[in-house]
Chain A
Amino acid sequence: MGSHAKVMSVWVRTALVLSATWLLAGCSGRQSALDPQGLQSEQIRQTLFVFLVVATIIWIAVVFVLSMGMLRRKREAAQPLGLHEEFEERSGRVILMLGLATTVVVLGLSVVSYAGQRTVFAKSENALTLKIIGHQWWWEVHYEGDSPDKTFATANEIRIPTGQPVKVELESADVIHSFWVPSLTGKMDLITGQKNELQFTAKKAGVYRGQCAEFCGLQHAHMAFAVIALPPDEFGRWRDHENQSASSPPDQLGRQGEALFRARGCALCHNISGTPAGGQMGPDLTHIGSRTTIAAGTLPNTPATLGAWIADPQHIKPGNLMPQMPLQSGELIAILHYLEQLK
């Protein structure tokens, strides 16, 4: 796209500023296609605004002609079939021209769209690869490394380095879900029996919220996640840390919690690397203490919310697969303490 596109983008920016200040006052933009923080989302916004400008002009023109047609002074005429042949002929030509103009506009927009599409779906070689598996109603995340010991799993929270392309491979364990982080890029479905792929690059460090966009059953509304973009060196440190197994609890209460985690059945579904807890049904909890949210972005991760969740998960997110385990309050405190220190 040449200088014409640049002129357009000035237009676009003005339109953006005007509409954004007017319409979106107070919008945080954590999950917004209008506040792009990635290469792909920026491209999409640009395409969007080209379309928006064209559409606005056309709509105004139509409403203008409509109003003029209604307001203009009308000739007196005897009856409905007093045909104005001259007008019919003239308007016939105009209609035909407008039809041609419409064709040209939509074909032009198709080209603009396809150019944007090529950029958005361009693939790069040196991408960081993640595998994401959708579940009802949470996200299983695997970081693929060069070697098996660099491979680890987490859930509902994805950390990525800024400036580096990230490739997510998308699969589903049950029904169709859709991976969507509007601030970084458009969505892509996770389809049973099919492998999809999406690439994006975060430009700035920050926390970007994502959410399942394909209706996936009862708790579709509570299937969010966070993408945390970190500067590359910080990401490297996080990755090294995440790659380690869980540290054994330093205190008595923590050790008690670890034992109860197995004894009360938690370990049947949850994995904690470096311990005998190896369940694969639910989210990996190896570093649960360092995550920002629980229950797929439903609640912030604090001792209070995590405790409430363990005590009665069905109250917070009815229908999810985690059963309510009968726990003494002392046992709950021990397990909570144990999980909190799994940083």
Chain B
Amino acid sequence: MSMAAEPNELRDDVLNGLQLSTQLERVWRTPSGLFGALMSVDHKVVGRRYIVTAFAFLLLGGVLAILMRVQLAGPEKTFLSADKYNQIFTMHGSTMMFLFAVPVMEAFAVYLVPLMVGTRNIAFPRLNAFSYWMFLFGGCFLWISFLFNVGPDVGWFAYVPLSNLQFTPTKRADVWAQMITFTEVAALAVSVEIVVTVFKLRAPGMTLDRIPLFVWAMLVTSFLVMFAMPSIMVASTSLILDRLVNTRFYDPSSGGHPLLWQHLFWFFGHPEVYIIFIPGTGMVSAILATFARRPVIGYPVIILSLIATGFLSFGLWVHHMFVTGLPQLGAGLFTASSMLIAVPSGLQIFCWLATLWDGRPVYRTPLLFVIGFIVIFVLGGLSGVMVASVPIDTQVHDTYFVVAHFHYVLIGGAVFPLLGAVYYWLPKITGRMLSERLGRWNFWLAFVGFNIAFFPMHILGLIGMPRRVYTYTAEMDWAHLNLLSSGGALLFALSFALLLVNVIYSLRKGELAGDNPWSASTLEWATTSPPPPQGFDRIPVVKHRDPLWADGESLPVVAGLSVERREVLLTSLAEAEPQIREASPEPSIWPLLTAVATTVFFIGSIFTPWAVLWGTPPMAVTLIGWFWPTGSKEDEE
């Protein structure tokens, strides 16, 4: 609108110092009390909750992993029944993929991206709150079902016909499929927020070639989510329809086909791996620059690699289906396309090696995890090249070789960078440092434990052990390597216990971090630790790719945003020129209520199709409440 602002509205150019901070904090803070907490739309509050919840699910998934390793430590153990084991491995995979790996990366992005691009809140903050609640409710729904013995037992990719009504007459497969719907909604919401935040909320002067690499990585990831998730949404919804109202999407006797499921699932499932891995690479780039004490070499190469990885990741899903009887030439082409993704991944590795080569590395815990990442991930990538070969895959597909491979790429490629990220960014989030000594122990236990746990699985697969078997006979000669692997798994688990101890210790007695404990270069280190509700008192102006290294103490800022209401600055897409002042939503209880209504609808609809009828009006009501016009001032030039 062309109307001028009310003349008496207070802007941040008339206040200074403490006065400004206090005023902004009053406007941006989350209301106090339990009710206030439930209303929060602050990306830092929601991000923190997201991170803690995702790590809670990591803990649960890890406990399941240990249970499996106990069962497999020796031949013909009866620690777990077949039924329990099948539920547990399904729950482990589903929890780790859908409730930990994807959400935890989004969680870090929700917390960090707005700070790294220098704005006050994420785009669509209420959607952000809604996303968190959906994630939380979906995760609880899955785990409560599991505790009531209705946990899914059809594997994390739930192949039909096994997951059809005929072969899984209980609600177990529905629980799995609907949990997917919850996490999809949550993930899609965050992706939209990240894309808009990166495109429209960057600090003035942060041109496309000044965006931090972690933010670039999250931007590419968000696009991957938006293109990949609809595929699994179609797949899981069709599965629920097949089970609930007898549609025949996957029934060969009525013209459906079981392979349709596999195509839809893996068209999502392969990009999914990169949805987890690409944020990891972003964390690596961020940590490496700080601790090698120089900018990462090959900034444009890394960005182009990320984008290339994103595109290529949609062209290789068929390598999960090499033994389903596809035409040979077609399968061979997917071998080549699968292996080609090694090129952008390789380029990134080369850039990081060059950075480390030329830098003056400071070997603190975050950097140790990055080095561990390179060692482990490269091995996992190379075993990935092996499984991409059709003839090799016919032997190793669905064996422990593949189990080893994907734990090398996912734990090596995502969890190690993530642990580095925890050591790196937790001081920003809590204001306190983690113990370096415990950190070193944590790293070495994780590194050694991980390799002892997972390396032997390569060999187990080659000597014939299929995955997802709840037991094996003594004559198979798999006992020793399995025992070794179980021992390694315990060590690996111990490293996480150490992390927990370190975090608790740090929260109570950790050294104060200060604004920029690592002398890092990106904007999140320009504000206090933990950051105030408004993020920054004044929006910084970016003149360099590494603003804190280039401008040091005197970071330039812009002024002119309101201090009486929540306002953010929109900038242009490419050049990040200031365009408009935009109102940012106030705290609201409606996202939570909408999430509750949606949850009731989703859970109800796996029991009766009528839930679609009685489940939608409450959602409509809550959405009307959410979007009810509040008569706030319109945005202005």
Contact = CB atoms under 8 A, between A and B. Distances in A.
Contact of B332 (A75, A79, A114, A174): A114
A218 interface: yes
Given A47-B391, A106-B385, A107-B336, A62 B161 contact: no
A62 B394 contact: no
Nearest to A25: B480
Given A70-B356, A188-B394, A214 B159 contact: yes
Nearest to B469: A221
A287 B349 CA distance: 60
Interface stretch (A147-155, A190-198, A257-265, A303-311): A190-198
A342 interface: no
Interface stretch (A2-10, A178-186, A243-251): A178-186
Interface string B319-344: 00001110010011001100110110
Interface stretch (A116-124, A227-235, A274-282, A325-333): A116-124
A186 B343 contact: no
Interface in B83-112: 83, 86
Contacts of A218: 82-83, 86, 153
B463 interface: yes
Given A114-B332, A215-B468, A31 B463 contact: yes
B82 A120 contact: no
Interface stretch (A92-100, A125-133, A160-168): A92-100
Interface in A35-78: 41, 43-44, 47-48, 51-52, 55, 58-59, 62-63, 65-66, 68-70, 72, 74-75, 77
Given A23-B459, A81-B550, A98-B346, A117 B391 contact: yes
Given A66-B356, A182-B464, A213 B349 contact: no
B477 interface: yes
B464 A91 contact: no
Contacts of B335: 110, 113-114, 117
B45 interface: no
Contacts of B83: 218, 318-319
Contacts of B30: none
B393 A62 contact: no
Contacts of B393: 186
Nearest to A119: B391
A176 B159 contact: yes
A237 interface: no
Given A48-B392, A220-B468, A32 B462 contact: yes
B360 A77 contact: yes
A72 B357 CA distance: 8
A108 B467 CA distance: 30
Interface string A205-226: 0000101111111111100000
A305 to B, nearest CB: 13
B353 A69 contact: yes
A117 B331 contact: yes
A43 to B, nearest CB: 7
Given A34-B462, A214-B398, A192 B252 contact: yes
Interface string A78-93: 0111011001100110
A34 B349 CA distance: 31
Interface in B568-613: none
A24 interface: yes
Interface string B240-283: 00000000000011000111000000000000000000000000
Nearest to A29: B463
A164 B393 CA distance: 25
Interface in B330-385: 331-332, 335-336, 339-340, 342-343, 346-347, 349-351, 353-354, 356-361, 371, 374-375, 378-379, 382-383, 385
Interface residues of A, number: 92
B385 A51 contact: yes
Contacts of A41: 395
A65 to B, nearest CB: 5
A121 B329 CA distance: 11
A204 interface: no
B159 A99 contact: no
Interface stretch (B8-16, B128-136, B293-301, B425-433): B293-301
B476 A186 contact: no
B259 A51 contact: no
B28 interface: no
A70 B549 CA distance: 23
B395 A211 contact: no
A1 B398 CA distance: 30
B464 A192 contact: no
User: Looking at B323, B339, B394, B546, which has the most chain A CB atoms within 10 Å of its CB?
Assistant: B394
A315 B328 CA distance: 43
A103 B312 CA distance: 14
A66 B161 CA distance: 47
Given A94-B354, A213-B397, A59 B379 contact: yes
B37 interface: no
Nearest to A219: B82
A131 B632 CA distance: 73
A217 B90 CA distance: 12
A58 B382 contact: yes
B626 to A, nearest CB: 42
B513 interface: no
Interface string B418-460: 0000000000000000000000000000000000000000010
Contacts of A109: 339, 385, 389
A301 to B, nearest CB: 15
B82 A74 contact: no
Contacts of B358: 84, 87-88, 91
A80 B394 contact: no
B36 to A, nearest CB: 41
Contacts of B82: 218-219, 221, 318-319
B446 to A, nearest CB: 18
A103 B295 CA distance: 26
A165 B196 CA distance: 60
A81 B529 CA distance: 24
A99 B390 CA distance: 24
A84 B463 CA distance: 50
A77 B549 CA distance: 14
B382 A55 contact: yes
B68 to A, nearest CB: 13
B273 to A, nearest CB: 18
A218 B390 CA distance: 29
A202 B331 CA distance: 25
B81 A318 contact: yes
Contacts of B399: 213
B155 interface: yes
A43 B342 CA distance: 25
A44 B394 contact: yes
Contacts of B463: 24, 27, 29, 31-34
22 contacts: A24-B463, A34-B463, A51-B389, A58-B382, A62-B374, A62-B378, A69-B356, A72-B357, A92-B298, A94-B354, A102-B343, A106-B340, A106-B343, A109-B339, A109-B385, A110-B339, A120-B391, A180-B466, A191-B258, A194-B252, A221-B468, A221-B471
The 3 closest A-B pairs by CB, nearest first: A186-B394, A193-B252, A31-B464
Given A80-B294, A103-B343, A215-B468, 16 more contacts: A33-B462, A33-B463, A34-B462, A43-B391, A51-B389, A58-B378, A80-B549, A106-B340, A110-B339, A117-B389, A136-B167, A175-B162, A182-B395, A189-B323, A318-B83, A319-B83
Interface of A: 23-24, 26-34, 41, 43-44, 47-48, 51-52, 55, 58-59, 62-63, 65-66, 68-70, 72, 74-75, 77, 79-81, 83-84, 87-88, 91-92, 94-95, 98-99, 102-103, 106-107, 109-110, 112-114, 116-121, 136, 174-176, 178, 180, 182, 185-189, 191-194, 196-197, 209, 211-221, 318-319
